Amino acid sequence: MKIGFIGLGNMGGPMAANLAAEGHDVIGFDMADVSIQGVTMAASGAEAATGADVVITMLPNGQILRAVADQVIPAMTAGAALVDCSTVDVDSARAVAEKCTAAGLLFVDAPVSGGIGGASAGTLTFMAGGSTDAFAAAKPLFDIMGQKAVHCGEAGAGQAAKICNNMILGVTMIATCEAFALADKLGLDRQKMFDVVSTSSGYSWTMNAYCPAPGVGPQSPSDNGYQPGFAAELMLKDLRLSQQAAQSADADTPMGELAQALYAQFVENEDGTGMDFSAMLPRFEKRSRG
């Protein structure tokens, strides 16, 4: 298959390399001067998209996605598929889907879960929105780049699933960090706290699989000085997307709104930039109730 791949950063680079390693003809483009094993670099996004069976994008935000789509859609052949793996706002995903439909193209919005490690290992999870035909066109590539792909519904449904999931993740991590900070001040040993909660009604992924307390539970970023597995600023981005979607859909999400405010404070006014999103725990440790 001939694949155009636009956006070859920390996530897109290894994803493109995995496709090339499986024998696909991958033509890449990125604004930065990058070199990806097995990928032939083009001079523009339009050049990478010309003649491609599938064009994959991995971009920072919805505004950039819309701009790139305007460049590549005219260069694509009718019947080809545009697969956007970025995490962007639902409205942008749906707007690009409409442009693809008008041009006779298939479109899938397929944000991912699994981080840089998952991109390198080919173990990402894809949350996909689009028609049945569009999903079928992208599925063989999802199977190379990831371990699971869920067809969530029509265009925009992939983004909706991602931001709803990550709103839960952000809220739950804050609650987990608050609880550890409270346990400390109550004199409760962290290991004992973990032993109880991880097997009781308070268990969660943030407690059981990604514990924010160093030396407790399975290995996690807290055991590596909170170097990011999932950076706090990326969590803030996703929480902002969740609240943008909530406003657009007239949904009441007070916990999501508060989580966004706390991560904004942490990232923009404290020392959260460049830290894992679980570094909320040392933040709460240092704070008093006042």
Structure tokens at 5: 């791949």
Going by C-alpha positions, the residue among 116, 113, 85 that lies closest to residue 227 is 116
The span from the CA of 256 to the CA of 242, in Å, is 7
The span from the CA of 46 to the CA of 38, in Å, is 20
Structure tokens at 287: 């704070």
- Strands 2-6 and 25-29 come out as parallel
Going by C-alpha positions, the residue among 68, 63, 58 that lies closest to residue 100 is 68
The contacts of residue 164 (CB under 8 Å, 6+ apart) are 242
Structure tokens at 52: 């491609």
The contacts of residue 165 (CB under 8 Å, 6+ apart) are 113, 127
Mark whether 162 is an active-site residue.
yes
Structure tokens at 280: 């909320």
* The one catalytic residue among 162, 192, 237, 286: 162
Going by C-alpha positions, the residue among 209, 207, 265 that lies closest to residue 236 is 265
The span from the CA of 176 to the CA of 170, in Å, is 10
Catalytic residues: 162
